[in-house]
A and B are shown apart, each in its own frame.
Chain A
């Protein structure tokens, strides 16, 4: 098995940061977030999972997709060029799988989203296997494993102070290039996996639960904020709006939006088909486990547990899924 020592890994990351945009887990305030890294010393190697996913590097929370300027004769229309190549280090298997989930909509369904597609193409993913499932994690219930390597280009697994390294794709192999690796004996230990499985209802079982009073009871305490959707690695709704920069220039922005927002579904004339927060909270679960698999294939949840960990009023996806399957 090929491996790198911790020091060697940090030196390699330092080198990568010098010649490319490197994004890795960093401490920001009291949070751990995927952020651009300039020196490998800024990287956190021992962490459970980041507080936000890496989706913003593929679907930025805000991006300008067009600018229009009035010139003396006619208009100048410009599409801002996207940034160059980027490397994401320390991606957890759930966050990598989340990109596959997003691919189903943004890449595999015609027409592909050009902004997402370009970022995806220009990004190399270096995965870092989890040593154990966290308190809120339920990835194994969604067909994943804490050391799943199928969704990254290069997979790192910690073993006795070394990092076993495996090129999964040609992209990963190319990135590894001439990096000095050493041969180590044995195989990485299996991660700690909780045996408990969360029941995931099949698509066909969802419609009959739509009118259950379950949703109204669950949503009584929901604050109807956007937190769960913004920390979610697979929630992908966005809004597009033109912003006037001056009387001669506008910019077309695309920014995250959330189905949990009261006005999300409001339509011309003022009608709102989902006026109650119970309907909005229900929609979030139906979108993930019923509509998205129906329309695009994969279930839009990877069991990362961020919504569970961060909900201010303890709306717990595991409790919801268990409650629903018991109905």
Chain B
């Protein structure tokens, strides 16, 4: 089953990492990802730019309203996600724990994927 691991963290904190700290976290995460990729279990991975670059389209009205910033004002922000193929929740939690050991602080939301299309983008 495909699981999304949604990464939440306080952006103020991650933006305070020095370049070296950031690179160190990314290098550790890459090890976990390579492991998953070798097993053929790693789907798309994305790291999002800061929420200051975000725009929200509120479509509960007509015409839809464009708002600066992320959809939800929360203490922790959605900063990225992984798609990982796991047997069950325990498997997904194990992956999340491995990722968490490489990148402490914040939270991972583990969410089973309903529909997945690999898409065609190749930037």
A binds B: no
Q: Which residues of B contact A (CB under 8 A)?
A: none
